[in-house]
Amino acid sequence: MTSSLAEILRPLDPAGALPLYQQLQRSLREAIENRVLGPDDALPAERQLAAELAVSRITVRKAIDGLVEEGLLVRRQGAGNFVAARIEKNFAKLTSFSEDMRARGRAPHSEWLRRSEGTVSPEEALTLRLLETLDAVGDSLYEALERAGRRPTRALQRLRALLLNAEQAKLLHAHPGDAGLLVERVGFLPDGSAVEFCQTFYRGDTYDFVAELSSSND
Amino acid sequence: MTSSLAEILRPLDPAGALPLYQQLQRSLREAIENRVLGPDDALPAERQLAAELAVSRITVRKAIDGLVEEGLLVRRQGAGNFVAARIEKNFAKLTSFSEDMRARGRAPHSEWLRRSEGTVSPEEALTLRLLETLDAVGDSLYEALERAGRRPTRALQRLRALLLNAEQAKLLHAHPGDAGLLVERVGFLPDGSAVEFCQTFYRGDTYDFVAELSSSND
DNA sequence: CAGTGGTCTAGACCACTGC
DNA sequence: CAGTGGTCTAGACCACTGC
C-alpha cells in the first residue's frame, strides 16, 4: 500500500456534534464524490480502517452500512468493500422524464410556461439547496441537476387519477374531462435534503405505470 | 406486564440456517402481520427482549432495524419501539385488497357479481394452478389462496387512468365520467406459475398510490 | 427520577474469496 | 492458506422521554 486513506479523510472528533459513524460516513461520501475514491476502488479493510481511525470496527461498519444504503458502496463478503461502479447507470427505477421518453424511442422537449425565482422560508432554505439559477435548466431538469452535482438519488412518489382541465388538456393535445394521471414527486439527495418537488400530468390513454412487486422484503 | 411476548414468538435456533437477527426479524414480522401486535403497540424494551430470548441487545437491535426499514416499526428514543400506526398503500409492495383496507382501519367486504368456472386452454392449464373450487373464496381471495398454500409472492402490476362507466360508477357510489384508476395485476407463485389475474377499479378521489423510489437496485 | 433507545468498545468465531 | 466481510457477545456511557 502506498498511502493511507485514513490520512486523507477529515479527522474524526469524538466530542463532535455528530456521532462518529456519521462523521465517517460523510468523510467517505465526500471522498467518493470528489473522486478521491473512483468506481470499483476497494476500501481499506474494515479492521484496518478502524485501527487507523482509532474507532471500533462496528463504528466503521455502521458508516459503510449507510453508504451501501445510499448506493455509493457495495459489499463483497470475503473480498472487500468497493465503490459502486457507474452510479449514474443504476437509475433504472428513478429516471427523469427525458430519459424515460428517450427509452421509449420518443424525442422529448420541454416548453417553459412560467419560470420564476422566489424567496423561501428559513426552513425551506435549510432543506432545499437547489440550483444557483433557474437559467441553468435547458430541456432536462435532471441534466441540469446532474451538472450541478445535485441529482436526487431517492424519491417519494404519489400518484392519483383526475380529469384534465382545459389548460392541461390543451397542453397535452387532449380534451377537457379526459382521464389523466397526476404524479407528484419529492426528490432527495443522499444526505437527505430535498432538492426537487415535481408535479407531472399524464394523458390517461397514453401512459401506463408498470411495477414489479415482491412480498419478500429482505 | 402480564404476558411475555418472548413466549409467543417462535424460539430462536442458534444453529439454524438463518442468522439469529433474521430469525427474530421474521418472528416479529409474523407477530405484526397476524395482529398479535397491533398498531401503536409498544414492543418490550430492547434489553428485556434480549434477556428473554437469550441473545445480545445488538442482535435485537439489528432485527428491529430491519423492521423499521420495512416500515413495520418506528423507534422513539427514550420512549420505546412501536408498531407503525399507518401503513400507506405502497405501489411497490404486494398486499391484498382486504389487508390494505384493514390497514387503513376500514372493514372490507366483497360482493360476488358473477362467479363462474370455465375450461381453460391447455396452455393456461399448464401455468394456472388455481383453487380446487371457487366456493372456497369467502370475503378475501388472498385468504383463500393462503389457505390453499397458493398465495402469490410476486406480481406484475399495471396502472392506468380511465373514466368510470355507468356500472363501475354505481358499484363505487360515484358518477359516470368521474376519474378512476384501473390496476391490473398478474400474481405468481414462487415457482413462477401464474395464479391470479386481477382487475381492480378505484375511485380517483379516494385512492392515492405512494411509492418510495431508489436509485440503487441491489 | 427511572427507563428507554442511541452510540461505542474490544473482543470472538464463522463463511467466504482469491490465490 | 491468509485475508476479508458477516454475525454475535457483554459490557459501557450518553441523550431523551415521561412522570
Q: How far is the CA of B178 from the C1' of C19 (A)?
A: 68
Going by pLDDT thresholds of 50, 70 and 90, the confidence category of residue B41 is very high
Rounded Cα distance, A115 and A96, in Å: 19
pLDDT along chain A (218 residues), means of 10: 69 87 94 87 95 96 91 90 61 48 56 56 45 57 64 65 79 79 68 64 64 41
Cell of B46: 430492547
More confident residue, B85 or B14: B14
Tell which strand C nucleotides have any atom below 7 Å from a protein Cβ: 3-12, 15-18
Q: Which residue of A has its CA nearest to B215?
A: A91
- Give the nearest partner residue to A93 out of B66, B210, B213, using CB atoms: B213
Rounded Cα distance, A208 and A179, in Å: 12
Residue B132 confidence (pLDDT) above 60: no
Cell of B78: 427514550
What's phi and psi for A138, nearest 5 deg? -95, -110
More confident residue, B120 or B9: B9
- Give the nearest partner residue to A204 out of B161, B208, B215, using CB atoms: B161
Question: What b/e string do you get for B95-132 counting C-beta neighbours within 10 Å, with b at 16 or more?
Answer: bbbbbbbbbeeeeeeeeeeeeeeeeeeeeeeeeeebbe
Q: Are strands B73-76 and A179-188 parallel, antiparallel or unpaired?
A: unpaired
What's phi and psi for B149, nearest 5 deg? 65, 30
Amino acid at B101: M
Q: What is the mean pLDDT of residues B86-92?
A: 46
Its pTM surpasses 0.75: no
Rounded Cα distance, A203 and A192, in Å: 32
Which long-range CB contacts under 8 A does A35-39 form with residues at least 24 apart? Answer: A36/A8, A37/A5, A37/A83, A38/A83, A39/A83, A39/A84, A39/A85, A39/A86, A39/A87
Residues with CB under 7 A from strand C: A 14, 19-22, 54-59, 62, 76-79; B 43, 45-48, 57-58, 61, 75-81
Sort out which chain A residues have CB atoms less than 8 A from B195's CB and list them.
Answer: none
- Give the nearest partner residue to B215 out of A153, A158, A211, using CB atoms: A153
Q: What is the pLDDT of residue A126?
A: 43
Q: Is A105 left (phi over 0), alpha (psi -120 to 50) or beta?
A: left
Dihedral, A120, A121, A126, A127 alpha carbons, nearest 10: -70
Inter-chain CB proximity B160 and A181 less than 8 Å: yes
Which positions ≥6 away from A148 have C-beta within 8 Å? A131, A132, A136
Please count the residue pairs, one from chain A and one from chain B, whose beta carbons lie less than 8 angstroms apart.
133
**Nearest nucleotide relative to B60: CA against C1':** D8
Q: What is the pLDDT of residue B166?
A: 80
Rounded Cα distance, A134 and B211, in Å: 28
Inter-chain CB proximity B215 and A90 less than 8 Å: yes
Q: What is the mean pLDDT of residues B90-110?
A: 56
Kindly report, residue by residue over B101-130, the tens digit of the pLDDT: 565 555 556 566 665 555 544 444 444 445
Q: What is the pLDDT of residue B50?
A: 96
Cell of B200: 381492480
Identify the burial level of B87 via C-beta atoms within 10 angstroms of its C-beta, where 0-12 means exposed, 13-18 middle and 19 or more buried. middle
Q: What is the pLDDT of residue A145?
A: 64
Rounded Cα distance, A22 and B13, in Å: 33
Identify the burial level of A145 via C-beta atoms within 10 angstroms of its C-beta, where 0-12 means exposed, 13-18 middle and 19 or more buried. buried
Q: Which residue of B has its CA nearest to A207?
A: B160
Cell of A172: 397535452
Question: Whose CA is closest to A48, among A69, A33, A64, A31?
Answer: A64
Q: What is the pLDDT of residue B22?
A: 94
Q: Which residue of B has its CA nearest to A95?
A: B215
Q: What is the pLDDT of residue A198?
A: 63
Q: Are A195 and A169 in contact (CB under 8 A)?
A: no
Rounded Cα distance, A73 and A50, in Å: 17
Q: What is the mean pLDDT of residues B37-65?
A: 95
Which positions ≥6 away from B67 have C-beta within 8 Å? B25, B28, B29, B32, B73
Q: What is the mean pLDDT of chain B?
A: 72
